[in-house]
């Protein structure tokens, strides 16, 4: 297999494997369940799953998304997150084959977990945003574009921008408009992309949010002023394509 194909395939397969753990994390963590202890089991009947039932993506396809014993539906987030993680790895390997592509895949995988947790529980854990921020600094220290100075400015600017918006909204409307994790996530994204790309990410996330609201309206769903949207997830979804385009365009 040529080097041009090796990296996308390897990162895609690695993403699917890691996606199994990511899915368990997203499903169990908000429920207070352990992710690292105990073997995987059917949530309905409690039967411990065998190795053949734990193959990423393939098992869900062969079992048609149901437990082999009791026939209960398996949470679709398992295969959805596995597929998303595989696609992230594949895209990173195609855009920038080599170690930088691996770094970009890590960026995407961390964003995936954060986005899924935000959609599931409106929760952006500090430990995950901290890991994202630290990884961005480490990659910058290794000399990967953008320069470390631009990353540092991006980290400060990303956090300060959304913190100021949240504080202003709270002052004017006397209620929370952004979750406390959103500024931290945007700051961590700035440590990966640098300050120049932050406006692009913010605009893309905001437009996507507006499109979701319009979709709800057009489908007859009642929309209220205090309805919540997982804005952290929208930031994460916007940030990864920006990284792909940015790194792929570096000579």
Q: Give tens-digit pLDDT for 70-118.
A: 767 778 898 999 999 999 999 999 998 889 999 999 999 999 999 999 9
Q: What share of the chain is helix, strand, coil (3-state, %, to 5)?
A: 70, 0, 30
- Asked whether residue 225 carries a pLDDT value surpassing 80, the answer given is no
Encode pLDDT of 9-68 as tens digits. 999 999 999 999 999 899 989 988 777 766 676 665 666 666 666 678 887 777 777 777
pLDDT at 41: 67
Tell me: do 248 and 205 sit in the same domain: yes
Encode pLDDT of 141-184 as tens digits. 998 889 999 999 999 999 999 999 999 888 888 788 788 899 99
pLDDT at 185: 97
Q: Which two tokens stand for residue 73?
A: 């539906």
Q: Is residue 115 in some structural domain?
A: no
In whole angstroms, give the CA distance from residue 192 to residue 195: 9
What total of structural domains would you count in the chain? 2
Which one is predicted more confidently, 211 or 37? 211
The neighbour count for residue 153, using CB atoms within 10 Å, is 18
Long-range contacts from 38-47, C-beta under 8 angstroms, 24+ separation? 42/67, 42/69, 42/70, 42/72, 42/74, 43/72, 43/74, 43/75, 44/70, 44/72, 45/69, 45/70, 45/72
Q: Is residue 109 in some structural domain?
A: no
pLDDT at 178: 81
pLDDT at 150: 96
Tell me: do 207 and 93 sit in the same domain: no
In whole angstroms, give the CA distance from residue 208 to residue 171: 26
Nearest residue to 15 (alpha-carbon basis) of 120, 128, 69, 91: 91
Q: Is residue 105 in some structural domain?
A: no
- In this structure, what are the phi and psi dihedrals at residue 66, rounded to the nearest 5 degrees? -130, 150
Crossing angle (nearest 10°) for helices 126-141 and 148-173: 150
Tell me: do 92 and 180 sit in the same domain: no
Tell me: do 33 and 154 sit in the same domain: no
**Which of 82, 97, 112 is where one domain is finished?**
97
**Does the model's pTM come out above 0.95?**
no
In whole angstroms, give the CA distance from residue 154 to residue 136: 11
Tell me: do 171 and 223 sit in the same domain: yes
Tell me: do 146 and 28 sit in the same domain: no
**Which of 81, 97, 113 is where one domain is finished?**
97
151, 194 Cβ separation under 8 angstroms: yes
In whole angstroms, give the CA distance from residue 63 to residue 170: 49
pLDDT at 174: 76
Q: Is residue 173 in some structural domain?
A: yes
pLDDT at 33: 79
Radius of gyration for the alpha carbons in the chain, expressed in angstroms and rounded: 19
Domain extent at residue 191? 123-251
Band (pLDDT 50/70/90 cuts) for residue 193 is: very high
Q: Which two tokens stand for residue 109?
A: 């995988």
Give the per-residue SS3 of 35-61: CCCCCCECCCCCCECCHHHCCCCHHHH
Burial class from Cβ neighbours inside 10 Å (0-12, 13-18, 19+) for residue 218 reads exposed
**Which of 62, 97, 132 is where one domain is finished?**
97
């Amino acid at each position: 297999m040529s080097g041009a194909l090796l990296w996308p395939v390897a990162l895609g397969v690695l993403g699917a494997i890691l996606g199994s753990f990511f899915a368990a994390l997203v499903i169990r963590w908000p429920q207070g369940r352990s992710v690292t202890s105990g073997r995987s089991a059917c949530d309905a009947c409690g039967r411990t799953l065998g190795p053949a039932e734990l193959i990423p993506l393939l098992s869900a396809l062969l079992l048609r998304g149901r437990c082999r014993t009791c026939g209960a539906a398996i949470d679709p987030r398992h295969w959805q997150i596995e597929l998303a993680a595989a696609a992230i790895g594949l895209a990173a390997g195609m855009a920038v084959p080599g170690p930088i592509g691996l770094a970009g895949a890590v960026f995407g995988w961390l964003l995936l977990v954060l986005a899924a947790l935000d959609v599931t529980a409106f929760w952006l854990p500090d430990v995950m945003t901290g890991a994202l921020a630290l990884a961005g600094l480490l990659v910058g220290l290794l000399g990967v574009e953008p320069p470390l100075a631009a990353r540092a400015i991006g980290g400060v600017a990303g956090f300060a921008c959304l913190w100021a918006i949240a504080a202003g909204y709270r002052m004017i409307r006397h209620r929370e408009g952004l979750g406390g994790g959103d500024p931290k996530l945007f700051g961590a994204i700035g440590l990966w992309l640098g300050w120049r790309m932050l406006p692009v990410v913010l605009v893309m996330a905001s437009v996507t949010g507006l499109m979701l609201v319009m979709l709800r309206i057009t489908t007859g769903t009642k929309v209220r002023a205090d309805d919540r949207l997982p804005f952290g997830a929208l930031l994460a979804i916007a940030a990864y394509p920006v990284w792909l385009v940015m790194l792929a365009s570096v000579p």
